Amino acid sequence: MADTIDAYSIQNWLESCPQSYLMDTEYGHGPEEKEPDFILDNEVVLEETIKATVQLVVGERCALSASSGLINAAPDEASRRFLATQTLDEARHVEVFTHRLYDLGVKKQDLEGTIQRYANPNLVKFAEILLEKVDRKDFVSGVVGQNIVLEGMAFSVFEMMHAMNEPVNAKFAHTLSGTIADERRHVGFGENRIGSLIQQHPEKRPEVEQMQKEMSYFMLATFADAFRNNQTANELEAAGIERPHSEYQGVDLGTMEPEEMEQVLADTVLKEFKTRLGRIGIEYQTPARP
């Protein structure tokens, strides 16, 4: 257990994020960095960006509820303390994405209304499946749902967004790189801690597999909504702004149709699920395609 204590200790966390990549940032980015004009000056692009950021807040709120809710269900001290650092990470993510909404012009008093208006119902369903497990203090399902399914999804989405933003929006790319670093730790904990627990509780497998299948379905439905109804690409084209030729998973995002991008993201996440679940002894279940 000694190794786990060190790797997942709060001491390790203090050294690896506040004293490292968060130094000299404000709400996750450099104090001078700003959202670019092509977003702020175009109503359609601005609304799409707000909509996309709302999904991030919704996802992070779910992660915050899940990680804090799992602390009292954790069977050992080291897991509790790791989850304490994760709780703070997730709270930070909620905060930085909320601040992005403010930077995009959402008024503080309109925050909840904006979130309600734009939150994708499929993402809300996805979150509900996980939070139901957390409410029941089901640690094994909760950690798989959170640290493998939710985090795995977040990780890939952030990476794709990072690739798209890096050439054109240094501020948001900076925010994303910090969250990606956090999520990487969270995913690592899920794999390391839960493998042995699954071995101890093989009877949990069918329930966990069913949860993964359901969550995956609602994740794909969220992706479908996000890409298929997105006006950003058309709008940028109409305005004569060339999309950056960002590379993600070996493809050029600057030349792809939204449906193709959706496909690449979905395939990447599902492949990741399969690998990670395999490592902890859970059989990946193919979800229905929305």
Enumerate binding residues for another protein (CB under 8 A): 9-11, 13-14, 18-19, 22, 26-27, 61, 64-65, 68-69, 71-72, 77, 80-81, 83-85, 87-88, 90-92, 94-95, 98, 108, 111
> What's the min distance (Å) between Cβ of 139 and another protein?
13
> Given the complex with Fe ion, which of 11 and 200 has the nearer CB atom?
11
From Fe ion, another protein, none, interface partner of 98 (C-beta below 5 to 8 A by class): another protein
Name the token pair of 54.
């709302």
Of 84 and 104, which has the nearer Cβ to another protein? 84
Q: By CB under 5 A, name the binding residues for Fe ion.
A: 60, 63, 90, 93, 151, 183, 186
Tell me which of another protein, Fe ion, none is bound by residue 235, counting a contact when its beta carbon lies within the kind-specific cut-off of 5 to 8 angstroms: none
When CB distances are held under 5 to 8 angstroms depending on the partner's kind, the choice from Fe ion, another protein, none that residue 29 binds is none
What, of Fe ion, another protein, none, does residue 126 touch, CB below 5 to 8 Å by kind? none
The values of phi and psi at residue 135, to 5°, are -60, -35
Among the residues of the chain, which ranges form H helices? 2-7, 10-16, 37-40, 43-71, 77-103, 111-118, 121-135, 139-143, 151-165, 170-200, 205-228, 232-238, 258-279
| Residue with smaller CB distance to another protein, 71 or 264 | 71
Give which of 67, 21, 58 is closest to 187, Cα–Cα. Answer: 67
Is residue 175 within 8 Å of 52, Cβ to Cβ? Answer: no
For 109-137, give one letter per residue: b (16+ CB within 10 A) or e.
Answer: eeeeebbeebbbebbebbbebbbebbeee
